[in-house]
Chains A and B, each alone.
Chain A
Amino acid sequence: MTDKTLARAISRRQWLSASGLGLVGASLSGWLPALAAEGAADPRRRRHCILLWMNGGPSQLDTFDLKPGHAHGGEFKPIATSCPGLQFSEHLPKLAGLAQHVAVIRSLSTKEGDHARATFLMRTGYRPGGPVDYPTLGALVAKELDDPEAELPNYVSISPYQALNPAAFVPGFLGPRYAPATVGANDQPRADVPEAGYPRLGLDNLQLPAGVDPQQSLRRLQLWNSLEQGFLGTRSGASAAAHRLVYDRAVRLMRSEARVAFDLDQEPPAVREAYGRGRFGQGCLLARRLVERGVPFVEVTLGGFEADALGWDTHQKNFPTVKSLSAQLDAGWSTLMSELDSRGLLERTTIIWMGEFGRTPKINAQAGRDHFAAAWSCVLAGGGIRGGQAYGRTTPDGMAVADNPVSPGALLATLCAALGIDPAGQNTNEMGRPIKITDGESIGELLT
């Protein structure tokens, strides 16, 4: 952790004179008076990533790799997109109009067909088991793109469904500094209380507790600050310094203008409607507001909150379920891309759409599709991605990859390359062992 290394590197005397009490003073003067409104994005945070996580495993055959005319094809028809030759499902019409930003990968091939294991694999790039606590994708990116001066968290996770495999949602050996700030998780019952017809998507504990007004909070912070000065003045250790730094960051967030990012009521009703009223659509809107304010990594989950938590796990009634999920996906994703584009942010924001695996080409007796990892699809879009193409190909029956198989490591390496992160870079785990950010080579054809 850089802060600690820094704190260790400086002597106690320097700490007292330069950063220690200086920091206390500076930060107090920073947040005790209400902060002046700041400009939107921090220019140093040039890159952002948005993960659209499809919980349960979406059907590639009914979204981005249709097989019209084949028995495996099912009920949906393909439609043309803004790019000649590239076709999506008929239930993704708005997204089809933005296909120039979108690269479909039709040749993902993995070996995990179990929800929990596959979730870990796709979200970390590594297979589960073994002694290493691998960080989830969001933590990896947050670490690379983090701005220590930022007021907002570096990783926000919207409506995640973590129960499948909690280990796939943690920063692992990177530590809590890169833990997601979770919004509207499905294990927080009160998160589902609708506000004015919309799901509530607030950051927990950002507000003062009931009964404590801002003046009282200010008095508390003043008392607290004098205690801190007394203690930190006599302690040279890194722990005391790190305590100060994280509290500073939390208090800065509480008191900052940037926290209005979480207040979706500030958006015009027409915009909120355009994203879709559901948890996913409003999550995409929140993602846009966070990216505008410089947050490097945001993930939005679709299919993690409905009556059936594994929304995309369509073992039965595949077609009506995928149709309804596609409607949410189409509204949220397309509005997100258009709005990012009109703000000049899409070229700096890479979007990745994926679930833990795909679905069987063969339609089962319950008109459903089962788990399928041998040949399936995901999507990269936006910044750093050469849009308007489909990479890789499956066989006409969809049962196997015909061209250019892509591994999870290669997918994440390509994402990193699009974000300007060296995919071959290394982190060091708590045992002192070097761990590669991704275990794969990036795919040049997908990159600009």
Chain B
Amino acid sequence: MSVLSALSARSGKSYACRFCLAVAAVSIAGALFGEESSRPAEADLDMSRRVDELLAARWAEHEIKPAPPADDAELLRRLYLDLVGVVPTVWEARAYLADQRPEKRGELIDRLLMSPAHVTHLAAVWRDLMLPRKFDPQQIAGVVGLQNWLRRQFIENRRYDRIVADLLVATGGDESGPALFYTSVGLKPQELATTTARIFLGLRLDCAQCHNHPFDRWTQQDFWGYAAFFARLEQRSRNAAAVRLVDTESGEVHLPDSNAVVPARYPGGVVVDPRELGTRRQQLAIWMVSVDNPYLSRATVNLVWSQLFGRGLVEPLDDFGEHNPASHPKLLEELADYFVATGYDLRRLYRTLCNTRAYQLASHAPGAEQPAPDLFAEMAVKMLTPEQLYDSLARVALRAPGAAQNPLADPQRLAFLIKMQTQTHSVTDFELSVPQALTLLNGPELNAVTDAATSGLLTALEAPIFNNESRVEVAFLATLSRPPRDTERSQFVEYVQSRPLDQRKQALSDVVWALINSAEFLLNH
């Protein structure tokens, strides 16, 4: 932000004035929606209701009955996985399930959103978005740096547009994290253009990299004009701990097989006046946060929507355009406007969406036919990410979190993440290889949870205060965040009873093994 402010102060041009106005508007908005006063919460709830209204209109059009509300346990587990990336503990589950007050849902959402675990989780989610090769062990120091940097931004709940702008002008140095975003693609203008357009603008400009896109309005000039913003970038220090990027005075992009220089041009907008001040990247950053950019708010709202609902209002997430309209255009527009009005406040966006009735629907509709997923008439079933899985297993085993400040620095965890990496870009696609399934069936990570010698859970269940019924119940609460159903209770208790007394711990380990290998555990539903 400092770069931008300095720049706008120095420049008298219209775009900069607009930017100044934007800054002024933001500070007013900041005063209106003061930190966690009751008013933004009410405004957010109004917006939640508006979202539901627009969704319900489509259900009525299609004569569809939505799924019933998720029960407490299902919603509890969903909120924990989506907002803090791990299943709740047994006591958290017990306390929540015992609470009879209707306001407990909203309170839980607020509590999770304000927890340190939420920003850690959010940083991991955004790091995952931004780095194409996810866990390259050789680059892990930089990955950790980027995640830590993101986490600091989210701790302060900084305006999302400012986070993006800072990333776009990052030079590294003391904070090498964001610089990794550039070095991970070798500082190539076309790669940086591709990635930033997809993540921050929701645009596949790169489809026009080699030839004009057949279905969309983007041309080669658009792509290379956008790539030109990243053409004047050099890496001065190759020290991995302190990457330093420098914006230079020269560097251009050309159309493939051509010598014609393509001037820097904002997507869908005007060519940059060569007399404009600032580096190319600063010019792009200013445009990014300006009212001239309609893309950032829509793309971000869509992104967060898809994290929670399993698919975007525009799907694929990075393919906005007339050829691919949103499933709910008005909803998308109003939500994006609201996001802008709140000052690009991610926390409030999550709160708004989590408080919708739609988010809180069960993941199984009553009808025989599954409603089309883009109607959002039932909650999508999402696959746990390797990180959610590892952290949840550690929690089930009652294993103390590693001493490392950043969870990625834990080598055992990192090895698991590498082993369980998938290529899928949709969380509703369950993608697992046979070797990965074998890792879950027989591998050391799950065995640590079910091995009588190492599992904290199994040791805790030995306590004499428990009987077999309560032992089975704790095992269910620890893994699925719900008590066993009657048939399950009798079957599993009977199983434990049927084993010799000296094999009780082993019998309980069998119960836990079955639970953590179940689809219900491995999926977020």
Contact = CB atoms under 8 A, between A and B. Distances in A.
Contacts of B430: 4, 238-240, 242-243, 246
B423 A204 contact: no
B314 to A, nearest CB: 13
Contact of A176 (B369, B423, B522): B423
Interface stretch (A89-97, A228-236, A278-286): A228-236
B331 interface: no
B519 A220 contact: no
Given A231-B519, A253-B438, A432-B316, A12 B368 contact: yes
Interface string B430-461: 11111111110111100100011000000000
**Most A C-beta atoms less than 10 A away, residue of B206, B425, B431, B439:** B431
Contacts, number: 184
Size bracket, chain B contacts: 35 or more
A79 to B, nearest CB: 42
B382 A204 contact: no
B434 A250 contact: yes
Contact of A431 (B316, B381, B438, B452): B316
**Most A C-beta atoms less than 10 A away, residue of B318, B426, B429, B487:** B429
Interface in A232-258: 232, 234-240, 242-244, 246-247, 249-251, 253-254
A155 B346 CA distance: 43
A227 B451 contact: no
A240 B506 contact: no
B514 interface: yes
Given A12-B368, A167-B133, A220-B510, A242 B429 contact: yes
Interface in A342-399: none
Interface string B470-497: 0000000000000001011001100100
Contact of A244 (B381, B444, B491, B519): B519
Contacts of B444: 209
B253 to A, nearest CB: 15
B510 A175 contact: no
A182 B436 CA distance: 11
A208 B441 CA distance: 8
A223 B438 contact: no
A33 interface: no
Interface stretch (B144-152, B186-194, B296-304): B186-194
Given A237-B363, A243-B522, A244-B519, A219 B510 contact: yes
17 contacts: A129-B186, A131-B191, A166-B133, A175-B424, A176-B431, A176-B436, A179-B435, A181-B434, A207-B442, A223-B514, A224-B513, A224-B514, A231-B520, A235-B381, A237-B380, A246-B434, A254-B442
Interface of B: 132-133, 136, 186, 188, 191, 194, 204, 206-207, 316, 318-319, 363-365, 368-370, 380-383, 421-426, 428-439, 441-444, 447, 451-452, 485, 487-488, 491-492, 495, 506, 510-511, 513-515, 517-520, 522-523, 525
Given A129-B191, A179-B433, 6 more contacts: A179-B436, A216-B510, A223-B513, A250-B434, A430-B424, A431-B204
